Structure 1
Amino acid sequence: MLIEFTVGNYLSFKDKVTFSMVKSESDDSLKEICTFEPKPDSKFSLLKTAAVYGANSSGKSNLVNALDFMRKFVMYSVSSPSYSSGERDIATTPFFFSASTVKMPSFFEIIFIEKNTRYRYGFEVDNTKVKSEWLFWSQANRETMLFEREEQAVEYNKRSFKEANDFVTPENTVKKTRPESLFVSVLEQFDGPVSSEVVRWFEDFYIISGISDIQYRYFTVRLFDANPDFRKWALKILSKFDISNVKLKEKESIVSKNSHGNKADRVSESISEYLERPKAAAKKQVYFSHTFYGNDSKPAGEIDFPMQFESAGTQKLFYFLGPLYQALNNGKTLIVDELDSRFHPLLTTLIIEFFSNKNNKNAQLIFTSHDTSLLKKEIFRRDQIWFTEKDKFNSTQLYSLDEYKEYYARKDASFAKDYLNGKYGAVPVFGNKDELLEIIYGK
């Protein structure tokens, strides 16, 4: 479960900004469906969903990119050739629009709960090495340092973090850890129990694009093929969208089978010949079954249409079901950049409700969006709505609607109307519209 994420001097974030999933004490609306207690003895509650709004190029996607960079660096700083010594610089990008930041390290810190333990983990990194790294945990509501690293120097808790014993020299420097690798990633490689738990949390932390489904397409097809529970679950959902059946076929097998002659077969063959065969890594292709009608307008069998013939929204829905199932079924955090892309607003609302209602495993959904129809007090609390806006220095500011005074965000306010009217900022600035029209039409 994600509690907070802080990033600084990365992409469009000059100063440190913090995104929080902690429930605000000033708002008790939708408490039963939108919040949960992460542990029985918790002194705070967490949010199940959160949305990030802002103008184009305001930094919404950069927030997702920052989370994705941290996740991948934790997972691959040891094993990936991209981070191997001498082969390539670390792929971090500082804020380039200030002389005070361009040569400074980027900052990443995340607070999360895994197996009833609260962790605070972070690091600072530039293009050549890890400048600092730290890991704390909280048990019985008291935070304890596990290790703190400054470049190759390190201090660690000899009682609570014994897995570091063989990886620290008598001079308190790290062993078996390159300057460009994370200490927690090295310890995970050697099965350190605490480090493995930290890295495993990042591995189960899903970050996907709502614009392109390429990155999770094969995952969903493979899950549909191998997991009967997911297949049954997905088919039930798709049936509500008038999709009667889904079939996986070997790429060479393209003919539909039915008990009403060869009419549907011939149509399927012609469709398959019309399509250019995809070059995807998946060995099987997805087909949606549709009813085939004879000359008497009565059902005469089924025709299997390749996925490419379905609408872009239907394709995204099917492929999106894999990550959605994994998050809901395992109580994980799912982050989607532009969730509403290619989705009808009612479908996007339904997906949000999957996380808000009957979400007993406390999965979390965080997404960016331009769909203002979602900005309703029936869907979101004020602390669930976030905005990104660039200041005059081209630096992204991140803030929650809950930070506004009651005058600007009344509990009976129309969030969408007030947002579009500019009360919360984070909207495009077009300048003079009449001048734009003159430019467009050449007057």
Structure 2
Amino acid sequence: MLLRFRVANVRSLRDEQELSFTVPAGHDPGPARTVELAGGKNVEVYPLLGIFGANASGKSNVLAALAHMRNAVINSYARWTTYGGLRRQPFALDDKSAQDTSFYEVDFVAEDGIRWTYGYELSASRVEAEWLHAYPRGRRQVWLDRDASRDEEYEFPGGRIQDRARLARTTRANALFLSHAGTDNHPQLTPIFHWFDRNLWWIDPEDDRHEREAFTIQRLQEEESRQRIEELLRVADLGITGAEIDQQPGQPPSVRLTHVSGTLLEWDQESLGTRSWFALLGPLLLALDEGAVLLVDELDSSLHPRFAAEVVRLFHDPLVNTRGAQLVFTSHDPSLLRTPSDGRLMDPGQVWLTEKDETGATELYPLTAAEPGELEDLTNSYLAGVFGAVPDITEGQIARRLLAARFTEMEAGRA
């Protein structure tokens, strides 16, 4: 399970920001799960976090940074070329940030209960630092300490990593040591590499929908998944009673959904909301089955708020989410903060907010920092701007600006 993510100098995230799944000290754990750590300690971990904020406030950049970290671990050794530099996007609105390193770090708990910390720093041309720490008995063990500014770039305190000299010698300056080890199926580090491979899957509603539709169709052809997918389509009250796979020779399989009248509609006749929901089901069920961390940008995009709320409930329900899967989503819709009966759909510790300062840098902070009252209506307070992270705009301001611009144009025309 993911415990924490820290990042700096990536897109609009100029200063170091932290996203944490752990329950703040002194707070009711609510829907959090108790995770047993190796060494006998426990930690309370949320199954879900929601990131809210105004347009262009940096919500999506948090998910993009997590996805970039995954990509670097999986691909930097095998796919990043020696001459191509590093694929990074530092903060672009000041000159200093282009010279500074970009920083990434995660804390997570592996299936055996051991907590790991892994991170790195990138400059424009090389990996400047990389580290890996384990906590098998609750105390830190340093497995890897890489610093490109030292004469001896690599240090392996305790000599715990097998074949370390060869790996260090053959890891390019612009590739991660962990990426090299995982690509080579290193016996000790491959499980850490695989954690990244099976987690931090990013779903962007603007991209890859056709691929996600195809993946859901693939899952629909599996007997154990078909019933669940069809049930989720029916429960969503789309007027759908089933699904039919159409396989033509030499063509990829396609799907037609059966509606209450018994009519089979062609896929391009289905609504955007239906197609968006269908495309989400394959990755969502895979995450629940695998106990993975899923990243969904704009969860409410093309979905009714009640659909989005049901996704939240799926991850909260321990009878459905039996493997400890986690979800991080972004949204503009504050109605996701409460239930139809005016209860809280998410605890304040699960709600994170983004806001840009006057320099264009994003600040990411938990709702708990605003200390909301126990009975406070989070939706109303959010819309009223009590917690920040809402557009700085007054009622009618856009219309007034438009009229002013039109008046200016008319005056210029008369001149």
Q: Shared fold (TM-score greater than 0.5)? A: yes
Deviation at 1:127, TM superposition (A): 2.4
Amino acid in the other structure paired with 1:288: L
Name the counterpart of 2:28. Answer: 28
1:285-364 aligned within 5 A: 285-290=254-259, 302-357=262-317, 358=319, 359-364=321-326
Amino acid in the other structure paired with 1:139: P
Deviation at 1:50, TM superposition (A): 0.8
Name the counterpart of 1:97. Answer: 93
The 8 Å contact of residues 57 and 354 in structure 2, kept in 1 or not, is answered as yes
* Distance in 2, Cα, partners of 1:104 & 1:25: 33
C-alpha change, 1:236 and 1:163, in structure 2 (3 Å) is: farther
The 8 Å contact of residues 220 and 322 in structure 1, kept in 2 or not, is answered as yes
Name the counterpart of 1:440. Answer: 402
* Distance in 1, Cα, partners of 2:241 & 2:173: 55
The 8 Å contact of residues 9 and 15 in structure 2, kept in 1 or not, is answered as yes
The 8 Å contact of residues 163 and 193 in structure 1, kept in 2 or not, is answered as no
The 8 Å contact of residues 146 and 155 in structure 2, kept in 1 or not, is answered as yes
Q: Which has the larger radius of gyration?
A: 1
C-alpha change, 1:437 and 1:291, in structure 2 (3 Å) is: closer
1:189-228 aligned within 5 A: 189-205=183-199, 206-212=201-207, 213-225=209-221, 227-228=222-223
Aligned match for 1:412, one of 352, 372, 375: 375
Aligned match for 1:111, one of 84, 107, 121: 107
- The yes-or-no answer on 1:131 pairing with 2:154 is no
1:40-59 aligned within 5 A: 41-59=40-58
Residue 169 of structure 2 aligns to a residue in which SS?
coil
Superposed CA deviations along residues 251-271 of structure 1, whole A, max 9, x for unmatched, are 469xxxxxxxxxxxxxxxxxx
Name the counterpart of 1:284. Answer: 253
* Distance in 1, Cα, partners of 2:18 & 2:88: 19
Name the counterpart of 2:35. Answer: 38
The 8 Å contact of residues 164 and 187 in structure 1, kept in 2 or not, is answered as no
Superposed CA deviations along residues 80-122 of structure 1, whole A, max 9, x for unmatched, are 2xx1111x22220111222332211100001111121111001
* Distance in 1, Cα, partners of 2:326 & 2:301: 19
- Structure 2 unaligned regions, length at least 5: 408-415
- Structure 1 unaligned regions, length at least 5: 168-173, 254-281, 293-301
Residue 57 of structure 1 aligns to a residue in which SS?
coil
Matched residue count? 389
The 8 Å contact of residues 184 and 195 in structure 1, kept in 2 or not, is answered as yes
Deviation at 1:398, TM superposition (A): 0.6
Deviation at 1:223, TM superposition (A): 2.3
Q: Give the TM-score taking structure 2 as reference length.
A: 0.89
Q: Which runs of 4+ in 1 moved over 4 A?
A: 432-435
- The yes-or-no answer on 1:7 pairing with 2:7 is yes
* Distance in 2, Cα, partners of 1:201 & 1:434: 49
* Distance in 2, Cα, partners of 1:114 & 1:424: 35
Deviation at 1:181, TM superposition (A): 0.6
* Distance in 2, Cα, partners of 1:180 & 1:326: 32
C-alpha change, 1:379 and 1:211, in structure 2 (3 Å) is: farther
The percent identity for this pair of structures is 28
Report the RMSD for the aligned CA atoms in angstroms.
Answer: 1.9
Deviation at 1:207, TM superposition (A): 1.5
The 8 Å contact of residues 27 and 381 in structure 1, kept in 2 or not, is answered as no
* Distance in 2, Cα, partners of 1:121 & 1:150: 14
